[in-house]
Amino acid sequence: MILGWLIVILIAGGLIAWPLARLHPLLSRLIALSAVTLDLALALVLATRDFGPGSTAGGGWREELDWSWIPQFGIHFHLGMDGLSFLLVLLTLFLGVVAVVVSWTEIATAVGFYHFNLLLILAGILGVLLSLDLFLFYFSWELMLVPMYFLISVWGRERRTHAAVKFFLFTQLSGLLMLIALLALYFAHHQATGIYTFEYQDLLGTPLDPHRAMWIMLGFLAAFAVKLPAFPFHTWLPDACAEASAASNLVLASLMAATAAYAMIRFLLPLFPEAVHTISPLMIVLAVIGILYSAILAFSQTNLMRLVAYASIGHLGFVLLGIFAGNSLALRGTVMTVIAHGVSIGALFLVAGAVEKRVQSREIDTMGGLWDTIPCLSGVGLFFALAALGLPGLGDFIGEFLILIGTYQAHIAAAAVAALGVLAATFYALRFVQYAFQGTNIHSWHLPDLAAHEGFVLGVLIAVLLWLGLYPQPVLQTLAQAASHAPALWR
Amino acid sequence: MLRLLWLVPAIPLASALALAVLRLSQKTVAWLGTCSITASSVISLLVSISFLNAPPASGAYTQILWRWFDVNGLRPEIALYLDPLSLVMMVVVAFVSFLIHLYSTEFMSGDDGYGRFFAYMNLFVGCMLTLVLANNLLLLYLGWEGVGLCSYLLIGFWYRDPANGRAGRKAFIVTRAGDTAMVIGLFLLFHDLGTLNIQDLMHRAVLQWPIGSSGALAAAFLLLSGAVGKSAQLPLQTWLPDAMAGPTPVSALIHAATMVTAGVYLIARTHTLYSLAPQAQFAAAVIGAATLLMAGFSALTQHDLKRVLAYSTISQIGYMFLALGVGAWPAAIFHFMTHAFFKALLFLGAGIVIESLGGEHDIFRMGGLRQKLPVTFWTFLVAGCSLAGLPLITAGAFSKGWIVWGAYSAANGSAELWVVALAGVFLTALYTFRMIFLVFFGQQNSQVTRKPGPAMVIPCLILAFLSIAGGYIRTPFASYLSTVLAWNPGITRSPSFGEMFSEAIVALVFFLGLCLAYVFFLRRRDYSTVLASSPAGSVLHRFWFSDWGMDWLYDHLFVRPVVWIAKVGKGDPIDGFYAGVGRLNEIAWRGLSLSQSGRLRWYAAAVAAGTIVLIGVVIFS
């Protein structure tokens, strides 16, 4: 039942926050903040109840909710949570709180509608992460789309319409392919068993001939690869990030990517193991190319948000590599990377946003010497740049190391070339630090340093990255619980 | 007492955090930043004494702090490992760090980044101690990258000048290129041997890999690449001379005494692996020999005092690699220790000289400072003699003579390597006394504006003492270290001359270099000018001055292509495809909108034409 509440609270919060902004924008912000915080608190309750030291070991869904929705078509409102989905739910709600807090001063127009959209996206993400019914999954997947479109097109910068339309077309078209694939799977299952069902557990064992399985798998993969985004379907992300606000970029790059990675691990790998195995060499090559390609492009960007977006694509290349490496070490590393990437890249977007707010520009050429005037923000920016370049001791390193060491077991060359991606990350991360913060303060800027709420949020993100880097065992432990659903993947 | 071991790296790390977060006055920063290192070095001494008095039964002490993570057989710990080798490293690192921090309190005073400086320096010491004490390669790698980071931060410490930032990035990226190979080595070791714990790795390697097997070779070469990058050896040495852009205490601590010797430590730590991979070990010897010569020639041509010392550092680490490569293991570690003393002292002295002349780096504009800075002169002279190897007295002579002897007599040694090592001794003496004569003797060219205070002089005096006294402990040092790192004698051949003979030749070569330096750079300066301006001389001079053209080569081979690709790719070529699809749609839209003209006749004609085509299709198909 608590799973249902998680989603309901967000939607209700959004619906209340929208009209309240007419009374006072602050009310809207407060409602949004309390809704997300309440959700986060509920999730933490679940953490102690289901994954704490006292909880019983073993597999299964730790929380489950199953309502009949459209029984004629075998559609259920079926939610379930295991270690994997729990970790990403926690990430979503944590970054959701962060997004609301940083929007406090950043968003000044249409505050109510903004929070409505933000909370609706979060609800959609939770739906994706918790659905055990593929129809509900598809529904939630699409639920994220429209509000995100508005976040870009209403609160974006100059070329926001172009960016929003591009985002919409990419995700909508790939989503359609998934819908077709989903229906094909649905009917294939009926053909084989005589039952119409969208139920995840039932569809898992659907017998498919390899040819058909490949096509259905490709339909799903299209949606997931675009959403991640994987090379060469990534080009909507830099455009969107260049235009959208920092908080939307956090949602866009950190959380949407998490849903895509999750969907691959939860649905793609167990539903079509043979097809995935067949296509994995191609995907590994694409992942490795993507890692190097995006690192080089990140190095050449002058728009700060674009630079971070390419950095994000590079990290997600590691995620893709880990998913298709066919190795459980790499798969665990993937989840670590998804979480750490969410925090570090999200934080880099926030830093870029904070810099933009102060110097009124996203262009790196116009900056320089910020360390003279805003040392705290500069130091924080340096920290997250170091996290992005994979410094040991911070979360990203653990994830990437596990992915690479896992990939090495089967694909030595891929691991070796991808390791060069870690080196290439140094190029753009240090360039970011050099151009934004170091050098001379040619404009003789006197800017306000971090405000209390910014400092608090970024400080918490720093602490989380250090924790993930120095003691990731709780995360990996929780993840181990997920193994019971697809033992072949995690062994 | 051993249980206090964790405090040795923890105190500097904690104080680095405090210095980074808190806003403190300069005085508090100085106290906190120096006291933390003092505490760390005192604890390291206490731990060492207790370790020496009552060594653990197994010969080593392991302190497990917590399990880092545990997945599918990969179970690294955050754990410290103390044995004679890491003990030596720990004590030297902590103690030299302490002296340099003390020096820095005065050297950096008045700088507006005072707190930042000490935060970075403390972080460096913490990472370096983690590196030497780590019980597994992953934790070692954490320290390894951590010191690289601090090196980057401190080279670019004066961030307002973009050139400093560039030097810092160069250092970080070049060393990280080596680290990438090293981390692939970690993957290989885990894949083949199933652990990253160093001692377990060595045991399993011996059991699993026959001598010269491909696994051992690959692993040894990959680790060697990391070591070569960090220790500025061929072909990755190009970052170190530029690293001199950082404040001088940084050059003393990071780019001379401690961090750059991490590669030496890594190879010594995994020496069992290198015994299984003789080719890799011999490669280390060849790299060391080549580096010590090349850097020696480069040092001979530099004008910048700190760059002379930088090339000298590269050259001396070349000696350590040579010692490792031939199997003279303890000699490498011994030379690390003496080098840490005299090279730190040389940099600290250079810092005083440069400061007192108002930031002058060019040795040809110095001169005659002997009277103005007497204490600095004498300590610098002691350190210089130690570097060049003044026989019987200085520590450097003991350690270097030992390596030269090893180059001939140890397992992989040969007459050729011995000759190279001797040539290195000659070069070292030549460039060292060139520097000393130009800086402290002859005409006084510029005014001394500032004199060093006690916080700067005392560390120099202590290091000067150690640069002499350190040599006399060679025999107990070797016997103590022999439990973990024994000299690997050549068994196949009997040497045709003894150690005494080798030492005598070293002494002879040293005096030869000294005399030549005296003639060329003090007595008859015009000789050296004539030599350098002769056609062949000037070509060689330029070639050596520019580090044998390697910077130029790398610039054209790597930097420019990458920058060019980045520049060309900035707009994302892949996006061109999608943009093309979009444009195609737009053209189709324009075309179709043309057809919707509102003219009834056109519509009727189109309907008719369409009907005819359809009928045609039906009939003819």
Question: pLDDT tens digits, residue range A86-107?
Answer: 999 999 999 999 999 998 888 8
**Alpha carbons A113 and A132: distance in angstroms, whole number:** 30
CA distance B560 to chain A (A): 13
Distances from the Cα of A464 to the Cα of A330, A347, A395, A455, B142, angstroms:
22, 11, 8, 14, 18
Contact at CB, A473 and B68, closer than 8 angstroms: yes
* Model pLDDT, residue B495: 66
* DSSP, residue by residue, B516-564: HHHIIIII-HHHHHHHHHSHHHHHHHHHHHTGGGHHHHHIIIIIHHHHH
A contact test, residue of B21, B131, B158, B159 with most A CBs within 10 A: B159
* Model pLDDT, residue B374: 87
Q: How do residues A78-88 score in pLDDT, each as one tens digit?
A: 998 888 899 99
Determine phi and psi for B593, rounding to 5 degrees: -70, -30
Residue of B70, B172, B191 with shortest CB distance to A409: B191
CA distance A366 to chain B (A): 15
* DSSP, residue by residue, B456-513: HHHHHHHHHHHHHHGGGGHHHHHHHHTTTS---B--SS--SS-HHHHHHHHHHHHHHH
Average of pLDDT values for A267-286? Answer: 92
A contact test, residue of B116, B187, B214, B583 with most A CBs within 10 A: B187
Contact at CB, A369 and B160, closer than 8 angstroms: yes
CA distance B122 to chain A (A): 16
Which amino acid belongs to residue A388?
A
| Residues of B in Cβ contact (< 8 Å) with A404 | 183, 187
* Model pLDDT, residue B280: 92
Locate the domains of chain A by residue range.
2-490
Contact at CB, A426 and B172, closer than 8 angstroms: yes
Q: Which residue from B minimizes the CA distance to A301?
A: B570
Q: Tell me what percent of the residues of chain A surpass a pLDDT of 90.
A: 60
Instruction: Say if residues B335 and B319 touch (Cβ distance below 8 Å).
Output: yes
Pairing between β-strand B77-82 and β-strand A75-81 as defined by DSSP bridges = unpaired
CA distance A290 to chain B (A): 11
Q: Which residue from B minimizes the CA distance to A235?
A: B575
Residue of A235, A416, A426 with shortest CB distance to B572: A235
- Which residues are within 8 A (CB) of B420 and not within 5 positions of it... i.e. 6 or more apart? B289, B292, B293, B322, B407
Q: Which residue from B minimizes the CA distance to A473?
A: B69
Contact at CB, A408 and B72, closer than 8 angstroms: no
Residue of B71, B172, B569 with shortest CB distance to A430: B172
Query: Is the per-residue pLDDT at A24 higher than 90?
Result: no
CA distance B184 to chain A (A): 6
- Which residues are within 8 A (CB) of B189 and not within 5 positions of it... i.e. 6 or more apart? B137, B196, B201, B219
CA distance A77 to chain B (A): 34
Contact at CB, A372 and B160, closer than 8 angstroms: yes
CA distance B312 to chain A (A): 28
Contact at CB, A439 and B142, closer than 8 angstroms: no
| Residues of B in Cβ contact (< 8 Å) with A371 | 159
| Residues of B in Cβ contact (< 8 Å) with A438 | 156, 159-160, 162, 165
The conformation of residue A364, written as its DSSP 8-state character, comes to: G
Contact at CB, B69 and A398, closer than 8 angstroms: yes
Identify the CA nearest to B417 among candidates B404, B400, B427: B404
* Model pLDDT, residue B17: 93
Of the listed ranges A176-180, A432-436, A478-482, B337-341, the least confidently predicted one is A478-482
Identify the segments of chain B with pLDDT beneath 70. 490-495
**Alpha carbons A45 and A486: distance in angstroms, whole number:** 26
Contact at CB, B69 and A299, closer than 8 angstroms: no
| Residues of B in Cβ contact (< 8 Å) with A476 | 69-71
Contact at CB, A473 and B184, closer than 8 angstroms: no
Quick one: CA dihedral A160, A293, A390, B128, positive or negative? Answer: negative
Q: Work out how many CB contacts closer than 8 A connect A with B.
A: 126
- How many other CB atoms are found less than 10 A from the CB of residue A399? 29
- What are the helix and strand counts (H, E) for chain B? 28, 2
Q: Which residue from A minimizes the CA distance to B166?
A: A434
Whole-prediction pTM value? Answer: 0.93
CA distance A259 to chain B (A): 24
Longest CA span, chain A:
74
Q: Which residue from B minimizes the CA distance to A232?
A: B574
**Alpha carbons A259 and A227: distance in angstroms, whole number:** 8
Contact at CB, A419 and B71, closer than 8 angstroms: no
Contact at CB, B159 and A398, closer than 8 angstroms: no
Residue of B142, B572, B578 with shortest CB distance to A297: B572
Residue of B67, B70, B177 with shortest CB distance to A423: B177
Q: How do residues A229-260 score in pLDDT, each as one tens digit?
A: 998 999 999 999 999 989 999 999 999 999 99
CA distance B252 to chain A (A): 24
- Which residues are within 8 A (CB) of A35 and not within 5 positions of it... i.e. 6 or more apart? A9, A10, A12, A13, A14, A17, A119
| Residues of B in Cβ contact (< 8 Å) with A408 | 184, 187-188, 190-191
Instruction: Say if residues B104 and B115 touch (Cβ distance below 8 Å).
Output: no
- Which residues are within 8 A (CB) of B309 and not within 5 positions of it... i.e. 6 or more apart? B244, B251, B256, B343, B346, B347, B350
Average of pLDDT values for A402-418? Answer: 92
- Which residues are within 8 A (CB) of B18 and not within 5 positions of it... i.e. 6 or more apart? B32
| Residues of A in Cβ contact (< 8 Å) with B583 | none
| Helix or strand holding residue A455 (H, E) | helix A452-470
**A57 confidence band (pLDDT: 50, 70, 90):** low
Q: Which two tokens stand for residue A165?
A: 């339309």
CA distance B352 to chain A (A): 27
Q: Which two tokens stand for residue B154?
A: 């401190």
- How many other CB atoms are found less than 10 A from the CB of residue A22? 11
Residue whose structure tokens are 């920016």: A381
| Residues of B in Cβ contact (< 8 Å) with A420 | 180
Q: What is the ipTM of this complex?
A: 0.93
Contact at CB, B160 and A405, closer than 8 angstroms: no
Q: Which residue from B minimizes the CA distance to A442?
A: B160
- Who wins on pLDDT, A332 or B481? A332
